[in-house]
A and B are shown apart, each in its own frame.
Chain A
Amino acid sequence: MGDDIKMAGQPLSRVDGKLKVTGAAKYAAEYIIPNLAYGVLASGAIARGRIKSIDTAAAEKAPGVIAIITHLNAPKPPGYFGGKESSDPRTEGGEYRVFYNDVILYSGQPVALAIADTFERARYAASLVKVQYVKEPPQTDMLSNMDKAVVPKESDPDYNRGDKNAFDNAAFTFEQEYQTQLQVHNPMEPHAAIAVWEGADAITVYNKTQSSPIAQEDIAKAWKLQKENVHIVSKFVGGAFGGASRVWPEEMAATIGAKKIGRPLKVVFNRDQLFNMVGYRPQSLQKIKLGADKDGKLIGIHHEAYGNTSTYEQFTANMTSLTQALYACDNVSTLYRLVPLDVSTPCWTRAPGEAPGSFALESALDELSYTLKIDPLELRKRNYAAQNPDTKQPWSTKFLNECYERGAAQFGWEKRNPQPRSTTNGNWLIGYGMATGIYGAWRAPSSARAVLNSDGTLVVQSATADVGVGTATIMSQIAADATGIPVEKIKFELGDSRLPPAIGQFGSLTTTSVGSAVNDACVALRQKAIEYLKKSQSSLQNTPVENFAFGDGKIKTKDDAVSISYADLLQQQHLPSIEVTVDSKGSEEADKYSSYSYNATFVEVGVHALTNQLKVNRVVSAIDAGKIMNKKTARSQVYGSVTWGIGMALTEESVIDDRYGRWMVKDLADYHVPVNADIPAIEVLFIDKSDDILTPIGAKGLGEIGIVGVAAAIANAVYHATGKRVRDLPITPDKLV
């Protein structure tokens, strides 16, 4: 860490903000490539069966058409063959293979790729492809297929500590079922890929990805190429939320199509294709049993969760993990199952297991609080876990109590009348609700390179991604603190598989992992500069290492008496630049601890007594995510997370017509992402205390913690307002009738 901490924590505006608002930032679909052709995928109409025949004649004759590709004429990526096993170690099973054969696995799956000289012509040609099917009845309703539930091969599906049946003997027992909906990422930027083959053995792909190294690996495996020969470029990403964590049909269709026509090819999804041609948040059914004594001490917890997956792959996002770590309780058992359906494979979606899991657990706790007549916040405090109740490890840091205290004070929780339906404002029933959030804090191995130029500028590089959260900004701040070089002279480069490999942007891992790597690389660079200094004629030559300070682009003595700028040092040494690359990972010391980020969310809702219109009036989100690296971008993350939570609680849902296995809600008119009118003032309180065990920079993860518990807090507030408990999301006005 720089001796003179200045930048970390500052509410610096995004270093790429101007590029974005002026349109200069280039997203995947915006690269101008000579001789580019345009591809649009035609989506299939049935959910299960086979393609009997495809008539492409009309499409082929349409103006500007270059080729129509189907499973009958598509070049098959060699990695598709013989592989029952997934080339993707992150999901179990065989990944969906575009244009591989005539089998239909889900409704809307790509059946043809129309390639033309403009996007519009390709889209029209795609509409002319006529497919005949052999239909089989699809199974897409999770609740009527529960008998097909399977034990997931990945992740620990079952967990037990203590006595499984302890709650049977508890003075108070409680048991309920909860459901969460199909939720769709719906980033503003559609999924897109441009594939440019450079001969038969090398390819460049411009795409939307949260990890260029993963996209590189996936494409290299599919085409059996040398990894170095696959170049992924993804400099800017217009929102992803987990949905761009693996390669999807747009990349594969672009590489297949480009191979076929011998020209660079761009494939961009239509909005309806963004609903299920890529992953989505699976629906869930969860069962919770709680046992407590009369003082609210939890005697036993059982949490059971079922999520849907596809028939060809297992996607897991364990919804019960948080239950193992959140509350002090000796007897906890959890179970997790998957229900394979004729749908596409779901994927990671902001706080994948935690968001739905916390809805069930934190709703149940609220219900229990009414049975026990104990304030919901007090109930949680009485079950505060002072160490990890599962591993018995100490926490690296945990400031959840501060979240409770500060959040409650800011919100005015003490004004809450415990009686449901007791508070009104005109015709509106007013309710207060709260919930706890927990999200694992990790640090994954990552590398970074720091290059100091003789003009005093610093370039820091790492193959991570910035899906819009402000990574480039924070990394520049960390580099500034570590080297003493002003932020304006620092450039952070990401989103390219040729940069030093690093974790992608998911799991709230980027700041902890890449931030630590950037810090370590910059500290190493600083040491290297000092080594040159020692060899120089400078008057600083004999200064003991511990007496150096770094600031204003200079190496100086701590008392500021003598200094030399990095630029002067390099010029004197006739060095055009110096650089270091560092592989960085967590310390062994950190393994002895358990690390999580926390939040306490407090919500006020208003529900119209007659029409059930619902409004979130206020949200206070108190967050413990370690040291906050940039208060401005961090606050924006929490605004986004809370908004996601509001969408999950109240408005967002896609619906499948199970007779056809077809998604019926697949545009932004009917899929209701919260609009400004749904989003109240959100007050974000950061505890902002360093976790120096997890990372040298003090940060824990922040990207996801803000959503965890929000849906439950809102549902709890709705109950408090109306006396009606809604256990299946979203809480739309019809459910309150």
Chain B
Amino acid sequence: MDQIRRVIIALAAVLVWALVPNAVQAEEHELVITHMEIAETNIRPKVGDTVKFINQADIAHNLYLTYEDGTVQNLDTQFPGMSKTAKIERSGKVVVRCWIHPVIRMEFDAADAD
């Protein structure tokens, strides 16, 4: 019984945390990689948000993000079916490319954190 009560309290805590409006809460944005393309979507993440890249292709990719100041964020090799997440570090234009496949290229704008 004690254990069940503890689980209920924990679940309630999670629920409260999830429901309370939180200005600094980071959002997650999703992008899907099909064969040699990142499917077109309009995302506009803020600094601190995460962008999740889902590899739905049947080949591996190795994406990297380049910020306006030239900083490069490498996401490592992602096998088919695997997801990799990048936490947005800087605002401005972000270019996504793949080390393996130069044909892959997409851009989005990152906003300043609130």
Q: Are A and B bound to each other?
A: no
Q: Which residues of A contact B (CB under 8 A)?
A: none
Q: Which residues of B contact A (CB under 8 A)?
A: none
